[in-house]
Each structure stands twice: as C-alpha cells, then as structure tokens.
Amino acid sequence: MSKGFASNYRVGLLAGLILFGYGALGVRLVWLHVIDRDHVLASVEMVRREVIPEYARRGDIRDINGELLATSVSRVEVWADPRIVRPEDAPKWPELARLLQVPLAQVQKTLTTKYRTVAQAQAGAPANLVLNFDIGKPAEASPPAVDATDPAAADKDNDLDEPDSTGRRPIKYARFKATVSQDVFAQILKLGVRGVRGDSTHRREYPHNEAAAHLIGYVNEMEQPANGIENYANFFLRGQNGWVETEKDGLRHELAQFRTREVPAADGYSIVLSLDSTVQHLAEAELEIIYQKFRPKRAAIIISRPQTGFILALANYPTFDLNHYNEVKPSEMASMQNIAVSNLYEPGSVFKIVAASGVLEDGLVTPDTLFDCNIDKIDYKGKTRPLLHDDAGDHFAGPIPVWKIISKSSNRGAVQLAMRLGDERFYHFVQAFGFSQPTGFPVGGEPGAAALRRNVPEPGTNRWDDLTITRMPAGYSVAVSPLQMHQAMSVIASGGVMLKPQIVKQVKDASGELVYRFDRMEERRAISERTAHTMAHLLQGVASEEGTAPAAAIRANGIDYEVAGKTGTAQKPMPVTLASGKVVVRYSEHDHVGSFVGFFPASDPQVVISVVVDDADEHFMGKTAYGSLVAAPSFHHLGEELIPYLAIRPPSSSANLGRSLLALEGGRR
Amino acid sequence: MSATNNRAFVNQVVIGTLVAIGVSGSVGIGSVWMRHQISVTAEANKAIENRLAEVERQTQQTSTWIAEEEDITALLKRNAEWRLGLAAPQDGQIQRMTEDPVAYHGAKRDRGLLQDRALLPNEAQPVSFRVAMQR
C-alpha cells in the first residue's frame, strides 16, 4: 500500500494546523465571550440595539349616532436636512412646494440655508450659549440665541451643534410644514429630493370644525388635552404606548429577526357622547340667527332630555374652530369659554319657579290663591320692605291668582310667595333646585362650590340682607349658570327629580366593544311629582296668549304642543364711574340678559330647551331686550325643528285632561 | 506501533477530520440558512404588520373624510351647490303611527293577500301570517 499523501510529517502538520486553527478560534471566542464580553457587548448594544416606540392611537369621540366628532389620523411632519441637499434636485423644488402647499420661495430658502447665524453675544454674555445655558433663567431674560427670521430658528435639534469658527451653526433640521397626509408624503418621497424627510405622527382632527367646540375640547401640539371631553376623558382616550426592543444594521434599518421583546400599543378607548350632531347643529344655527338679528355679546343654548338628564346639545356664541384653536387671537380668547357652564348671570324671572314650586309643595297656596300685586311695599318680619316694579304693569285689576303671577311674571307676586315660605324654607328650595352647588357637569369649567355659594345668599349670613327676600325670588341678588337654571327647569319636567346633567353616554374599546355605560343618575327629589305636574301646567300659561311669551308656543298641524316655560329678563350689574371718580356697581338700564327656559309637551316632557341671550340691547335702540323678544322665538323655532327630528309625538287629549284634572286637584289642596 | 497501523490511524484521523469539517460545515450552513429563514420570516412579518398599519391608516383617513363630508354644514353646502332642493320634512308631512310600523306594513300586505284569496269559493277560513319583527 502506498503511503500517498499521508506521510507522518504532512499528516502531523495538517492536524497541527487544524488543531491550531480550532484552538485559535476557541481562544478568540473565549476572549470575546468571556474576557472582553462587557466591552464588546457595550459597543454592540450602543450601535445595534434600538428601542422603537409604538404610539397608541388616541380614541375617537363620537356622538350618540356614531358620528365622528374627534379622531386621530396619521400625519407626516416634513422636514429637511439642508446639509445633504443636492443642487441637481432644484428642478423638483416647484413640485415639492406644490405638494407641501407652501410658497416656492420658502422651499428654496429652507433648502439652501445651510447655516444659521448665532446672534452675537451681548457684552459680558458667555461665548458658548449652548454650554452655558441656564435652565433656571426666565425665558425673557435669556439672550436671543438665533435669528428669528431664520427658517430653522425654532428647531430644537439644531441647538445641539456647536457653531463653527465663524459663529455659524449648521442646520440639520428645518421644518417645512407641520403635517401632511401620508399620501402626500408618499408623492414627496417619489420626487426623490435628497434631504427631505418626514416623521410619522398622529394628529387630532375634528371633522365638524366648530360644532360642539366647547364640549369636545382639543388636544394641543404637545399632545396634551386642553379642555372639554378631551381633557375629562383623557384617561380613557389616551391609550398606552408600546415599544419594540430590536437591533438595527449599519444603515439604521431595523433587523426584525433580532426583535427580543414586543409590547404592543394599546389604542385608546372611544367615548360616545349623548350629544346629537343634528340637534347641536340646529342649536348652533339658531345661535347664528340670534347673532344676526340681535348682535348680543354672548348667547347660549342647552337642549337635554328631561327624563335622563343627558345633554343633546350645548352651544355657545361666540365659538371657535377646533382644528384651528391656535389661531384664536388673544383678544378673542373669550370665545373659548363655555359660558353655558361657567358663566354666572342673574337669571331674572325664570328663578320664580323656585318660590312658586316651594309654596305649592308646602301646600301654602293653591294656583287660585290671590295676591295683591299692586302694592309697592310690604311688611315682613316687622319691617317694611320696598318691592320691585313689575314689567308687566304695576297695576293689575285687583288681586291676581298664583297662576297669573307665573304667566304674567309678577315680581311682587313672586316675592310674596317667597315670603309665605320664609327665608329658611325659601332657601331650602333654592338648594333643592340645585343652586349654590355645582351640577357636576364634567366639562366647561363650572365654578366651584365655594364660588357658587358666594353668589347665592344664605339666610343668617351677611350676604342676606333685608332686601334679599324682595329681590332673590324674582331672580335678582343671585347668580347662577345657564346650566344650573336649565337643570332647575328640568326638575319640573322630570316630575320633581333633580338629575345629574351628563354628556358621556358610553365608553367603548378600540374594537368597538362596550366597556362602560352611563345611565340616568338621580341626585335627589326636589319636589313631589304632584307639585311638578302642577307647575308644568302653570308654566304653560307663560307661552299662552295671556302670558309673557306667546312667541314660544308651538302649534303644528293645529296641535298645541303644550310648551311650558318661563321668560327671564334681568338687568346686568355694571360698573359705573361716579362724578367723584369712584367706581360702583349698579344695575344697568341698558344691559340685560334675556332668557327663556322651558320644555314640551308639558304632559309628557320630551325635551328641555334653554336659550340665554346676553346683552342684545343695542339692537333695540336703548329699549329692553326682553327674554320674550330675544329668546322665546328661538325656543319656538328650535322646538318646531326638533319635533320631526326627535319624533316628539303630539300630546294626547287624554293626557291633557289628566293634567288639567291633576292641576285642579292640586288647586284644591 | 507498526507503520501500517500508523497510516491507518492517520487515515482515520483525516477522514474523521474531514467528516467533522463536513458536519460542522453543514451545521454552519444549516444554521446560516435557518437564520436567513428567520430573517426572511421576520421581514415578511414586519411587511405584513406595516401593510396592516397602512390599511388601518387608510381606513381611519377614509372615516375622517366621510365624517367631514357628512358634516351638516358641508351637506347643506352641497345641497345648495348642486341645487338638490332637499329639505327636512315638516310636521305636516309626517304620518304618525301609534303601532309598530313593521307590524302595520305586514298587516297591510296580508290584507291584500286575504282579499285575493277571498275571491276563491269556499275559502272562508282565516289565514294567519307570521311577521318578522326586528328591533
């Protein structure tokens, strides 16, 4: 047998080489994996490891019919790195400008401005503004760091670069436009302009623009909810961000096979409101009509379901566009105030429902009990008190019954009703109707309990003087919010129960499954059902030909829809400068808040509507802007529109009869 | 040890080494192939995820567009632009029903059927129809 290749020497050499190779590999592996492990791993971790956040999508806000009121859509923030822009791409810039919808000059300036000049340090200021930046120093005290005209002036990333020897700082991030859609960005990428990049982000959009702006609220640029449902329900809406631990290659592309941990983002829950977009539109359209007709300073409309307390619409004038909240001028910031919830006003005659309900509840009077409303002063608790005049006419033909005190809105009659109750008992009913305490409405910035108590005098305190009992029953010397007054009227419509006003109806998860449902919430019984029905009947007289607001009555196809409500006209307390230069607050003869708060059909209330118009007097050339003139017609108009939309059935004759009988029964007590 | 035995041993070592190299090479290639497949699968998964995200994004975008177009102000504008003359129904145009509309229409249809059958002789027996109720 031939020895062949396998001589002892060669075989030994080959085996030695192989073993040496293996040995060397083993040594190297031990070196890398044991001895130098930490150093190598640190380098790898630093270079390759990456944690990619997965942003949760904020939940939608929908109305009761599923209409989108607020949603999050994917957007791309387009920016440029001017350092790597190629001159040969210049012919593509006009198309880029067209896609971005910005002037070509702006695109040219952004792409060609490769440096920004650092403002020369002020005398004694540190040379390196970045390194010597004092976080604790107020912004206005800091020297200007960049030229404000520079396109990249506001870009934070650029501050990380130190200026060169000439004092210039390279721009590596210059924002073109806040956001564009993904489709537009795809077209931009197709253009192939080097240096133009984009970051995906979610942007909050409000498809209905101004609709229900004060209720929905908005999310600002920092993704922080500012107010409204966006803020109140942020816990449900925001969701939970996720992340992916992975590695990337030298080109910063993710190596998906090296994903070690994935925590998926949990999208936010959706909020379903009790709001009805159509009803909201009707309310806002009505406010527009009010503005066109009367030019008031402010106005508000609230529409709700009396049997559940759920709000169908809540509209304010002035308002703002949720998609352009940041364009509201400082001088117009009042337009962002939810005046229906946060504004306090003296309600005037609408407040008479409290005293009237109180005396009927306590059985002190019947609807036919007579009161002399021609007197101008009255003795009460050993003192003679002056009475307010009556707009309806200071001279009635003799004593008038309680039902006429309501329908004619007699101030003097209302005061005498309250005096029958006495201070303490009257205040009890003021509280029972929800005044002096928050309604608990979750959005709109309702004043706190302390602020509300301050505006509702309490017997036995220094805010309750000798004149309070002659003013408060007629809606003066007391300040309430439109929503509080709306809720007080809802007590009568709901059969005497105070319900919590609610706007959030349901919470649903990202897949649309119901998570939580809000139902009618009873706060307390304010008055008995019998009293509530009697009051509903008496309030029908207001919208009759003999009442103060016949314009509020609704007749369709010859059917009376039994409007029950109350007008309110209150002088506004305004600051007046005396001849001595002293400024005092007095009731103005030229500034009024006119309102109408009511519901229908009185026998089976389906909807409660409040219309409050603040200071429409200028339109009336110095005359009073009565609630019957500025608010009652809007109530009527809204009611007519709501009847077909909400399928409000006309009251049945049997119900009318029952109501009448009930009222008569109450009258016999 | 004899030379023959030495050669036999060396041959065995060489063969064993070659086999070991072959096996380890195969394992290495297999490992690389497996890693490649893992990479391909991971990339495919990522592509599917991206596609799903893209579809979801398109859905959201479309939903937003629909909501914008369904805005009442926008609809009224379209109504005026296209001269459609659409208007909300007035109360007088609405026929109010005190009974269930499905049952009403079912009964109305049944009445027609019964009249047809009434033309036939000796068919006086009452006929009942089941009406599907959906709420």
Is residue A450's pLDDT more than 60?
yes
Residue range of the domain that includes A589 = 277-322+343-667
In a shared domain, residues A409 and A520: yes
Using pLDDT thresholds of 50, 70 and 90, give the confidence band for residue A142. very low
Q: Which residue of B has its CA nearest to A641?
A: B90
Q: What is the DSSP string of B97-111?
A: -SS-HHHHHHHHHHH
Helix (H, G, I), strand (E, B) or coil at A224: coil
Is residue A392's pLDDT more than 60?
no
The count of domains in chain A is 2
Inter-chain CB proximity B67 and A15 less than 8 Å: no
pLDDT computed for residue A128 by the predictor: 37
- Residue A234 burial (C-beta neighbours within 10 Å; 0-12, 13-18, 19+): middle
A641-664 per-residue burial string, b: 16 or more CB within 10 A, e: under 16: bbbbebebebbeeeebeebeebbe
User: pLDDT of B13-37, one tens digit each?
Assistant: 889 988 998 999 999 999 999 989 9
Domain limits of chain B?
3-87, 89-135
Inter-chain CB proximity B60 and A71 less than 8 Å: yes
Which residues in chain B land under pLDDT 70?
A: 1-4, 114-135
Is residue A619's pLDDT more than 90?
no
Is residue A181's pLDDT more than 60?
yes
Identity of the residue numbered A219: V
In a shared domain, residues A160 and A283: no
| Distance in Å, alpha carbon of A74 to nearest chain B alpha carbon | 6
CA distance A250 to A650: 75
Interior angle at CA A235, CA A482 and CA A332, nearest 5: 45
User: pLDDT of A81-103, one tens digit each?
Assistant: 888 888 888 899 999 999 988 88
Using pLDDT thresholds of 50, 70 and 90, give the confidence band for residue A152. very low
Q: Around A284, how many Cα atoms within 13 Å sit in the side-chain half-sphere?
A: 25
Is residue A601 reached through a cis peptide bond, with omega within 30 degrees of 0 on the bond before it? yes
pLDDT computed for residue A118 by the predictor: 66
In a shared domain, residues A497 and A608: yes
Q: Which residue of B has its CA nearest to A208?
A: B71
Is residue A637's pLDDT more than 50?
yes
Q: Establish if A261 belongs to a structural domain.
A: no
CB A344 within 8 A of CB A481: yes
Q: Establish if A175 belongs to a structural domain.
A: yes
| Distance in Å, alpha carbon of A164 to nearest chain B alpha carbon | 41
Q: Does the CB of A254 have a partner CB in chain B at under 8 Å? A: yes
Q: Lowest mean pLDDT: which of A150-154, A269-273, A407-411, A515-519?
A: A150-154
Give the mean model confidence (pLDDT) for residues A299-303. 96
| Distance in Å, alpha carbon of B11 to nearest chain A alpha carbon | 7
The pTM is what? 0.79
Residue A242, strand partner residues: A54
CA distance A202 to A182: 11
CA distance A622 to A572: 14
Contacts of A556 in chain B (CB under 8 A): 91-92
Question: Chain-wide mean pLDDT for chain A?
Answer: 85
Inter-chain CB proximity A556 and B45 less than 8 Å: no
Q: Establish if A473 belongs to a structural domain.
A: yes
Q: How many CB atoms lie within 10 A of CB B73?
A: 14
Q: Which residue of A has its CA nearest to B91?
A: A644
Write down which residue in A200, A233, A264 finishes a domain.
A200
Identity of the residue numbered B57: R
In a shared domain, residues A489 and A615: yes
Give the residue carrying structure tokens 């990249």: A152
Q: Establish if A304 belongs to a structural domain.
A: yes
Q: How many CB atoms lie within 10 A of CB A52?
A: 13
| Distance in Å, alpha carbon of A194 to nearest chain B alpha carbon | 24
Inter-chain CB proximity A255 and B14 less than 8 Å: no
Packing angle, helices B72-81 and B3-70, rounded to 10: 60
User: pLDDT of A647-657, one tens digit each?
Assistant: 888 887 444 43
Q: Establish if A9 belongs to a structural domain.
A: no
Kindly indicate whether the ipTM for this predicted assembly is greater than 0.85, answering yes or no. no
CATH assignment of the domain containing A191: 3.90.1310.10
Helix (H, G, I), strand (E, B) or coil at A662: helix
CB A200 within 8 A of CB A179: no
Q: Does the CB of A71 have a partner CB in chain B at under 8 Å? A: yes
In a shared domain, residues A607 and A515: yes
Q: Lowest mean pLDDT: which of A217-221, A560-564, A662-666?
A: A662-666
Strand stretches in A318-405, DSSP E: 370-371, 377-380, 383-386, 400-401
In a shared domain, residues A561 and A418: yes
A623-637 per-residue burial string, b: 16 or more CB within 10 A, e: under 16: ebbbbbbbbbbbbbb
State the best of A25, A68, A248, A641 to mutate against chain B, taking most chain B CBs within 10 Å. A68
Q: Around B44, how many Cα atoms within 13 Å sit in the side-chain half-sphere?
A: 6
State the best of B60, B63, B96 to mutate against chain A, taking most chain A CBs within 10 Å. B60
Largest CA distance in chain A: 148
Inter-chain CB proximity A71 and B67 less than 8 Å: yes
CB A566 within 8 A of CB A349: yes
Contacts of B19 in chain A (CB under 8 A): none
pLDDT computed for residue A388 by the predictor: 83
pLDDT computed for residue B2 by the predictor: 62
Q: Around A414, how many Cα atoms within 13 Å sit in the side-chain half-sphere?
A: 28
Is residue A318 reached through a cis peptide bond, with omega within 30 degrees of 0 on the bond before it? yes
State the best of A5, A19, A73 to mutate against chain B, taking most chain B CBs within 10 Å. A73
CA distance B94 to A405: 38
Is residue A669's pLDDT more than 50?
no
Q: Lowest mean pLDDT: which of A132-136, A441-445, A580-584?
A: A132-136
User: pLDDT of A42-63, one tens digit each?
Assistant: 887 788 888 888 889 999 999 9
Using pLDDT thresholds of 50, 70 and 90, give the confidence band for residue A260. confident
Inter-chain CB proximity B96 and A3 less than 8 Å: no
Q: Establish if A120 belongs to a structural domain.
A: no
Chains A, B: CB contacts under 8 A, how many?
Answer: 87
Q: Establish if A260 belongs to a structural domain.
A: no
Which residues are within 8 A (CB) of B78 and not within 5 positions of it... i.e. 6 or more apart?
B84
Identity of the residue numbered A58: R
CATH assignment of the domain containing A288: 3.40.710.10
Query: What percent of chain A has a predicted confidence (pLDDT) above 70?
Result: 88
User: pLDDT of A335-348, one tens digit each?
Assistant: 899 999 999 999 99
User: pLDDT of A59-82, one tens digit each?
Assistant: 999 999 999 999 998 888 889 888
Query: What percent of chain B has a predicted confidence (pLDDT) above 70?
Result: 80
CB A131 within 8 A of CB A118: no
